[in-house]
């Protein structure tokens, strides 16, 4: 384990030449982060998920710490998993520290996150001061003020501040979190926690006014954290906050949110970059906090009524993330990388039990299309993260975003949207002309930030200007933009004079800027103000017309050719004006399509091409002279041919330029190109590359580079002398040339290269990656690390071989450099080697017993000769951390959550080998990971096996046979095997299932490992899994012949009610109380018959919120031996005479896989005929038929059968990827109401099922 001591300057944020940088362990870093919903992942899979995330280049983990999850009852706090393994957040934080992740903590008090009650404790919300309707609380809705704060921050904050109970308990909760979890793990104390969030989704939406009451509330809860020991930055997480920099005066940062807005188009378009740049730039105006997006996803989560989330174009993730990084974003948190599964009962009504985003990984960590973009970013940042984290966007022009300088309380929603829309039109006009802008906030940024720019453009938004601007755009993604939801956001423009006049502070900054030599441009007119008047005659002040008026910011508004034509003339005039001011664009790109027709317009030496985005990043520190140039194509069909002319970052005056030869950028592709990147060890540099550099190292006289490119590319290096050996690309001799006059080495990467050499040489390369190796110098000392792995809980002896290939004595300090995630450390030895001597030097590297199996540590050896005159390095190696021995059970068991996702069942369910359930067997595989021979002892509940000796890497398979007790009446038989090597003891657990042919069984087992028992009914044909605490829904009705699950993650066996409370004022029909029935209620479960000719369980729940007077629900589920169907018998009791109103009725709703793309086009068959699945349609079924059959494919049929005299309506509601079978019974009568349903899961046809339906339903 790498131990990391606190640095003298340990703040996670450091200001470098006016630019805020993220830092950890003394180094700049780019937060490439993932939201980790640990409460939705089995505890025993946390490590595997984290190892996978780390392999994708994730270096930071975002944690929501849900109050109601960790304090389910008042005063009973569980942070160590004693009440539920998934509550072991202490263990999780230890894992993250061991693995070298940075951590962002979000303890609430409200976390939202589609989590029950937004994470706020139920036992608090039931108090009258929270004014929450009991039915809404039971449904899991967010606290009422959460929706108010999105549209009226001031009002919501006022009410929160007036609630002494809320403040008191929040203070206690924050104290518990800091004391037990976070205080000692903060970066300021040498730990890895870099920031703590205040509440959730505060300051949402630019139309929302965040005034003094809001900041008082935020400062109050921030003070609670700080008094409990918080010393790292605290922040809020708004989407599209009106004034992102406003928290500076309160020492509160802002991290933004961005989710892809489909708006009818699954693909990100050029116009979407208006919002991407706007969000990034507004975050960059914070003088004290680096720009980060804490919730980022190029898609949206799946709803609670379908099996898949809406599909977005897979390229959206790469394009959107690279655009924001190119505009200066310094942290990005995928929300999430992995789809996860709720613990029973903790959903909100509108979310799916499978918390699906169709993100990069599914629940089982299988990769999906979005994974490639995460890898692309991760590999870039793993190799060049320090350099990228130390940069900012190089701006050609300062662009004032003046909204903070207006009178905030009086701004209307209409004015705010018009101002921001015009601002985005200006930025997009500049982007079309390859003019990089930097937003400036005149209220919160110092004058020095203005002075960075030769010229500043100030949009003037007076009443006359706003009358010409439309309000609207794709920025409207929250309820806060709905005027009906906002009592205080007026939509008309006030006639109050001076409301849109810049503040005196803003005016004086502009005056000072001009008087210090800056050039100020107004558009489309000069602003009002006494201070401004004093500079209007200054020759450095000018006015330009509204050149930006025709630029669209919504996809589909204007086609490409029309857009180019509309801005061509004004582009030439504006860019020429700037050139006369001495402003020469940092990047000029000439672009054409691979086909000759389709080149864009011209803009004074650059091409106007809407589908192309380019920006340059330069170091924060003036002493560094490298850069990165981002290039992105939004064209969906054609590749672009690009010629770059870029400002030389090494030029003091900025006059020198670098001409990059033409290269090809594929359709919907993005690359970050290096410029003047130093190769310090050989006193050289990478002048440019037309491929994306993702790693570089110099070791043993060789220069190694890994680059990404889908096409041919060129790399140009300056090296003091020509290479002394071969230059290869992926092991193949490269085409290259070295010019001794200018010291320039050019290497060509051809279009396609046949990879040669051993498989392990190319094994860690991904598609389109290439390795260049330059044998630069020969006869140097060579260093190599000889270990292949590291063992947990041991003092590992790392062998470094030093070979002195010279004729002189080699003397100096040999260092072993150790990197584990973001942690780093050194271990040193003095060495002296004779000429031609080869020696191995041993370093001791202890690995903690708390280390995570499968994690890795990067090692490099460095030899610094006396007086540090020469340094030699070994290649970096990555060593996997493993326990001394591994074990695995076979066969593995799982259940199909979805056709593309299986969840492992642990302990596995092992079934008998014979029909009479006399015996079952399980295989235990043992592997020795240690360098030495180990002896393993094995003992089970039945027998102790003889010890087995295993050599290094040797494996052994052991079979255990379990004999079921004769005549057993228990379905489930727990069994354990202990394995020990004398130092470490592991226990392998198994559940043997006594299922005999010709019988049915029922048993309780935590199938999904959420800490709550599921109930399983099973025979030889069918397996039904019911989750009592999730409304007694079933997420698995499995045809055992085919393995297909015919229910979806929306759930079958859902209990709902026809009539909702008419007094519910909620406007949004999808958020009305009771809309989703008892989907999350905890039903009591009892096995009435666990084994034999039938298996029977009873499920019951008192539903107090069922309108108008509540009901008692009892369901009896019966599965008979040998059958392909089960029966559901309802007993619904009305609590008091007269409570039945003649309208309210039970509604049974079942989500089935009809419509899932994994199955053949589904059809439905009823007595009236057949019809095919059709997205977003509903079909009524005659209740007299008593039967609906869905033929899913030629092997799987689903059917539901009812008694026609009990049913009022029957309907098939077809969604996009699934279908609901909705059965509404006849209205309740006073007293007891009884109903029966029969569910079929097998392969029979409609005629076969109908022939038996009367008999089945009547049994």
- Residue 4's pLDDT is what? 58
CATH of the domain spanning 885-993: 2.60.40.10
Q: What is the pLDDT of residue 60?
A: 99
Across the range 1055-1084, mean pLDDT stands at 93
- Is residue 228's pLDDT more than 60? yes
Q: What percent of the chain has pLDDT over 70?
A: 95
For the stretch 237-253, pLDDT in tens is 999 999 999 999 999 99
Indicate the fold that domain 782-879 takes in CATH: Immunoglobulin-like (2.60.40)
pLDDT above 90 as % of the chain: 88
**CA distance linking residue 696 with residue 380, whole number of Å:** 11
Nearest to 456 by CA among 437, 474, 476, 475: 437
Residues 6+ apart with CB under 8 A from 8: none
Contacts of 1205 (CB under 8 A, 6+ apart): none
Strands 252-254 and 234-236: parallel
- pLDDT tens for each residue of 89-105: 999 999 999 999 999 99
Closest CA to 200 of 141, 258, 118: 118
Q: Where are the domains of the chain?
A: 13-393, 401-412+426-583, 782-879, 885-993, 1010-1258
Helical axes 316-326 vs 273-284, angle rounded to 10°: 40
Q: What's the rounded mean pLDDT across residues 1172-1182?
A: 97
* Residue 1133 · residue 1146 · CB < 8 Å: no
The rounded distance, in Å, linking the Cα atoms of 579 and 405 is 29
At residue 493, the pLDDT reads: 42
Query: Encoding tokens for residue 1146?
Result: 């039970």
pLDDT tens per residue, range 481-528: 333 334 344 444 444 556 789 999 999 999 999 999 999 999 999 999
What pLDDT does 496 receive? 57
pLDDT at 484: 36
- Alpha carbon 1172 to its chain centroid, in Å, reads 36
Q: Distance from CA of residue 546 to its chain's centroid?
A: 40
Average pLDDT across the chain, whole number: 94
Domain range 13-393, CATH class: alpha beta
Q: Is the pLDDT of residue 5 over 90?
A: no
Average pLDDT over residues 354-381: 98
pLDDT digits (tens, 9 = 90+) for 700-728: 999 999 999 999 999 999 999 999 999 99
Q: Three-state SS string across 845-890, please?
A: EEECCCCCCCCEEEEEEEEEEHHHCCEEECCCEEEEEECCEEEEEE
Residue 558: per-residue pLDDT: 74
**What is the distance in angstroms between the CA of the first residue and the CA of the last residue of the chain?**
65
- pLDDT of the residue at 468: 75
Are 782-879 and 885-993 the same fold in CATH? yes
Residue 613's closest CA among 735, 810, 432? 432
Note the Cα 154 to chain centre separation in Å: 30
pLDDT digits (tens, 9 = 90+) for 531-549: 999 999 999 999 998 888 8
| The predicted structure's pLDDT at residue 7 | 47
| Residue 1044 and residue 1038 in contact, taking contact as beta carbons nearer than 8 Å | yes
Q: How far is CA 327 from CA 896, 1120, 1132, in A?
A: 43, 64, 60
Cβ atoms of 962 and 985 within 8 Å: the answer is no
CATH 2.70.98.10 fits 1010-1258, yes or no: yes
The answer to whether the CB of 1076 falls within 8 A of the CB of 1051 is no
Q: What is the pLDDT of residue 472?
A: 54
Give the single-character DSSP code of 303. B
Q: What mean pLDDT is predicted for residues 1212-1234? A: 97
Predicted confidence (pLDDT) per residue in 754-776, tens digit: 444 433 345 689 999 999 999 99
Residue 1188 has φ and ψ, to the nearest 5°, of -130, 130
* pLDDT tens-digit series, residues 965-999: 998 999 999 999 999 999 999 999 999 999 999 99
Asked if the model's pLDDT at residue 731 lies above 70, the reply is yes
Q: For helices 273-284 and 413-432, what crossing angle results, to 10°? A: 100
- For residue 879, the Cα-to-chain-centroid distance in whole angstroms is 27
Structure tokens at 1038: 């499995």
Q: Could you give the CA distance from residue 1254 to residue 1241 in angstroms, rounded to a whole number?
A: 17
Q: What is the pLDDT of residues 468-481, one digit of tens each?
A: 776 654 433 333 33
Bond into 907 cis (ω within 30): yes
Judge contact between 658 and 650, C-beta under 8 A: no
- Picking from 1058, 1054, 1061, the residue whose alpha carbon sits closest to that of residue 1105 is 1061
Residue 256 reports pLDDT greater than 60: yes
Confidence at residue 3, expressed as pLDDT on a 0 to 100 scale:
60
The tens digit of pLDDT for each residue in 414-443 reads 999 999 999 999 999 999 999 999 999 999
Q: Supply the pLDDT for residue 756.
A: 43
**Kind plus residue range of the DSSP H or E element containing 505:** helix 504-515
Other C-beta atoms closer than 10 Å to the C-beta of 715 total 26
- 899-931 pLDDT, tens per residue? 999 999 999 999 999 999 999 999 999 999 999
């Amino acid at each position: 384990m790498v131990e990391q001591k606190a640095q003298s300057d340990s703040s996670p944020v450091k200001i470098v030449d006016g630019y805020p940088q993220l830092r950890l362990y003394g180094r700049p870093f780019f937060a490439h982060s993932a939201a980790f919903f640990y409460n939705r992942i089995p505890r025993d899979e946390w490590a595997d998920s984290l190892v996978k995330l780390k392999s994708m280049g994730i270096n930071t983990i975002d944690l929501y710490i849900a109050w109601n999850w960790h304090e389910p009852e008042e005063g009973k706090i569980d942070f160590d998993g004693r009440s539920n393994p998934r509550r072991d957040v202490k263990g999780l934080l230890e894992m993250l520290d061991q693995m070298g992740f940075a951590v962002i903590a979000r303890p609430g008090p409200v976390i939202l996150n589609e989590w029950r009650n937004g994470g706020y404790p139920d036992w608090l919300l039931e108090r009258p001061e929270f004014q929450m309707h009991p039915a809404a609380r039971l449904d899991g809705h967010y606290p009422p003020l959460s929706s108010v704060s999105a549209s009226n921050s001031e009002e919501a904050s006022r009410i929160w501040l007036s609630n002494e109970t809320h403040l008191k308990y929040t203070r206690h909760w924050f104290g518990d979190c800091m004391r037990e979890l976070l205080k000692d793990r903060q970066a300021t104390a040498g730990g890895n926690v870099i920031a703590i969030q205040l509440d959730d989704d505060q300051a949402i939406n630019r139309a929302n006014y965040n005034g003094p009451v809001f900041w008082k509330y935020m400062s109050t809860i921030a003070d609670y954290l700080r008094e409990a020991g918080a010393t790292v930055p605290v922040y809020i997480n708004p989407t599209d906050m009106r004034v992102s920099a406003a928290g500076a005066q309160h020492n509160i940062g802002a991290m933004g949110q961005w989710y892809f807005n489909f708006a009818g188009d699954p693909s990100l378009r050029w116009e979407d970059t208006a919002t991407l740049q706007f969000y990034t730039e507004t975050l960059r105006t914070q003088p004290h906090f680096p720009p980060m997006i804490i919730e980022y996803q190029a898609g949206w989560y799946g709803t609670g009524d379908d099996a898949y989330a809406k599909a977005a174009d897979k390229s959206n993730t790469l394009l959107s993330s690279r655009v924001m990084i190119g505009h200066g974003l310094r942290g990005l948190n995928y929300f999430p990388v992995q789809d996860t599964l709720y613990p029973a009962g903790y959903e909100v009504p509108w979310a799916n039990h499978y918390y699906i985003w169709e993100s990069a990984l599914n629940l089982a960590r299988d990769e999906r299309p979005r994974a490639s973009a995460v890898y692309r970013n991760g590999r870039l940042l793993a190799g060049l993260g320090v350099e990228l984290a130390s940069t900012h966007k190089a701006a050609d022009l300062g662009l004032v975003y003046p909204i903070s300088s207006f009178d905030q309380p009086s701004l209307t929603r209409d004015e705010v949207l018009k101002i921001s829309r015009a601002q985005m039109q200006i930025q997009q006009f500049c982007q079309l002309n390859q003019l990089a802008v930097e937003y400036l906030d005149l209220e919160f940024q110092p004058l020095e930030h203005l002075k960075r720019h030769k010229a500043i453009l100030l949009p003037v938004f007076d009443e006359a200007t706003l009358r010409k601007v439309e309000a609207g755009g794709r920025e409207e993604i929250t309820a806060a933009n709905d005027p009906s939801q906002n009592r205080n956001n007026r939509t008309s423009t006030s006639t109050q004079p001076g409301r849109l006049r810049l503040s005196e502070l803003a005016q004086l900054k502009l005056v000072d800027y001009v008087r210090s030599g800056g050039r100020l441009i107004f558009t489309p007119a000069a602003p009002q103000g006494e201070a401004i008047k004093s500079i209007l005659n200054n020759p450095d002040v000018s006015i330009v017309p509204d050149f930006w008026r025709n630029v669209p910011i919504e996809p589909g508004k204007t086609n490409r050719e029309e857009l180019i034509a509309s801005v061509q003339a004004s582009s030439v005039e504006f860019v020429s004006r700037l050139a006369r001011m001495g402003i020469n664009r940092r990047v000029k790109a000439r672009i054409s399509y691979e086909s000759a027709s389709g080149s864009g317009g011209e803009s004074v030496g650059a091409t106007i091409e809407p589908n192309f985005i380019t920006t340059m990043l330069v170091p924060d520190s003036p002493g560094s002279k490298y850069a990165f140039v981002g290039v992105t194509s939004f064209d969906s069909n054609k590749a672009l041919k690009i010629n770059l002319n870029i400002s030389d970052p090494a030029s003091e005056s900025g006059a020198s330029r670098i001409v990059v030869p033409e290269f090809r950028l594929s359709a919907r592709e993005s690359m970050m190109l290096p410029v003047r990147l130093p190769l310090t060890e050989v006193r050289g540099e990478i002048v440019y590359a037309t491929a994306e550099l993702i790693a570089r190292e110099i070791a043993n006289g060789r220069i190694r580079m890994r680059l990404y490119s889908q096409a041919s590319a060129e790399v140009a290096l300056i090296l003091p002398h020509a290479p002394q050996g071969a230059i290869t690309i992926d092991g193949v001799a490269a085409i290259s040339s070295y010019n001794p006059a200018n010291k320039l080495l050019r290497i060509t990467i051809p279009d396609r290269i046949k990879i040669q050499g051993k498989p392990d040489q190319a094994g860690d390369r991904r598609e389109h990656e290439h390795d260049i190796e330059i044998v630069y110098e020969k006869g140097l000392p060579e260093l190599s690390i000889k270990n292949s792995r590291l063992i947990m809980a041991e003092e590992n002896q790392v062998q470094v071989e030093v070979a002195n290939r010279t004729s002189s004595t080699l003397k100096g300090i040999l260092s072993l450099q150790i990197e584990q995630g973001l942690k780093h450390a050194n271990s040193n030895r003095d060495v002296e080697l004779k000429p031609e001597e080869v020696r191995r030097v041993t370093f001791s590297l202890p690995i903690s017993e708390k280390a995570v199996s499968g994690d890795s540590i990067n090692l490099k050896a460095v030899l610094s000769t006396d007086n540090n005159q020469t340094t030699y390095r070994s290649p970096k190696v990555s060593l996997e951390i493993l326990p001394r021995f591994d074990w695995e059970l076979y066969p593995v068991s799982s259940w199909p959550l979805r056709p593309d996702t299986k969840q492992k069942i642990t302990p596995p369910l092992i079934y008998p080998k014979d029909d009479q359930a006399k015996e079952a067997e399980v295989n235990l595989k043992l592997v020795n990971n240690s360098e030495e021979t180990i002896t393993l002892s094995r003992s089970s509940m039945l027998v102790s096996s003889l010890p087995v000796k295993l050599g290094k890497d040797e494996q052994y398979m052991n079979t255990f046979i379990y004999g079921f007790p004769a005549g057993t009446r228990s379905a489930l038989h727990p069994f354990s095997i202990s394995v020990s090597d004398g130092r470490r003891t592991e226990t392998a657990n198994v559940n043997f299932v006594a299922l005999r042919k010709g019988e049915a069984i029922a048993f309780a087992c935590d199938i999904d490992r959420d800490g709550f028992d599921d109930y399983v009914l099973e025979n030889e044909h069918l397996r039904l899994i019911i989750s009592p605490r999730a409304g007694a829904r079933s997420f698995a009705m499995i045809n055992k012949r085919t393995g297909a699950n015919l229910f979806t993650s929306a759930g079958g066996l859902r209990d709902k009610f026809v009539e909702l409370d008419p007094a519910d004022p909620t406007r949004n029909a999808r958020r009305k109380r009771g809309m989703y029935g008892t989907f999350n209620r905890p039903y009591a479960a009892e096995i009435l018959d666990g084994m034999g000719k039938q298996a029977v369980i009873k499920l019951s729940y008192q539903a107090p919120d069922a309108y108008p007077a509540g009901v008692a629900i009892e369901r009896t589920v019966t599965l008979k031996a040998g059958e392909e169907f089960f029966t559901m018998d309802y007993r619904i009791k009305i609590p008091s005479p007269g409570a039945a109103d003649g309208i309210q009725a039970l509604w049974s709703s079942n989500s089935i896989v009809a419509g899932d793309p994994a199955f053949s086009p589904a059809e439905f068959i009823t007595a009236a005929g057949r019809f095919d699945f059709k997205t977003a349609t509903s079909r009524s079924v005659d209740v007299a038929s008593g039967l609906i059959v869905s033929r899913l494919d030629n092997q799987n049929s689903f059917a539901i059968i009812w008694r026609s005299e009990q049913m009022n309506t029957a309907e098939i509601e077809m969604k996009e990827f699934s279908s609901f079978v909705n059965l509404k019974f006849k209205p309740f009568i006073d007293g007891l109401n009884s109903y029966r349903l029969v569910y079929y899961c097998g392969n029979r046809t409609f005629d076969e099922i109908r022939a038996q339906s009367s008999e089945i339903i009547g049994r």
